[in-house]
Amino acid sequence: MTTATTTAVATHTYDIDKAHSEAAFQVRHLLTKVRGQFADFDGAIAFDPDAPETGSVRFTIQAASINTNEPARDAHLRSADFFAVDEHPTLTFVSRRVESRNPAEFDVIGDLTIRGVTRLVTLAATYLGSAKDPWGHDKIAFEAEATLNRKDFGLLWNAALETGGFLVGDEVRVQLSIQAVAK
């Protein structure tokens, strides 16, 4: 006689805590790098630290919330030359799968949509742990990053430089620092 045992997976769902999270980026501009962030975003994470491959992520950024600390540049980034926020108000990421590299590091593979263009991307994620805050809320934290080619998503605007090359680099480094609270 054979007995089958089923192990319950303790996957919990967490809402991203915007007040304690950041969605940032950097891109080459002329000779240096310009850094910025998006102030308005939300999402949810399903996660079990003992089985991260069972997890999932959904993340939405309001494109108009871009901030590089330069109002004229931010207005240009919101325009049709870049994010076209009137036609494409959100950037979204929806995971397809999670692949563990070790107990605290994994790749989150999913569909990123910017300007109506969807591409498969991989976020290299690190699980920073879990804790109960002073108000009794269960929280988890992650850091994740990816390097994207902005042209893959239709962000094509650039200006040729007199000395050769272009004003804005193609590669954009995206960095997420996420704290999430249990539902």
Please give the structure tokens belonging to residue 89. Answer: 């108000």
Q: Does some domain include residue 6?
A: no
Q: Exposed, middle or buried by CB within 10 Å (0-12, 13-18, 19+), for 10?
A: exposed
In a domain, 4, yes or no: no
The CATH number linked to 105 is 2.40.128.110
Residue 92 lies in a domain: yes
170 in a structural domain: yes
Alpha carbon dihedral 10, 11, 12, 13, in 10-degree steps, equals -170
The domain in which residue 131 lies consists of: 12-182
- 25: β partners: 36, 174
Q: Tell me if 83 is assigned to some domain.
A: yes
Domain count, the chain: 1
pLDDT digits (tens, 9 = 90+) for 3-47: 444 444 478 999 999 999 999 999 988 777 999 999 999 999 999
Evaluate whether residue 144 is within a structural domain: yes
Task: List pLDDT tens digits, range 53-103.
Answer: 999 999 999 999 999 999 999 999 999 999 999 999 999 999 999 999 998
Q: Which residues contact 78 (CB under 8 A, 6 or more apart)?
A: 63, 64, 66, 85
Would residue 1 count as lying in a domain?
Answer: no
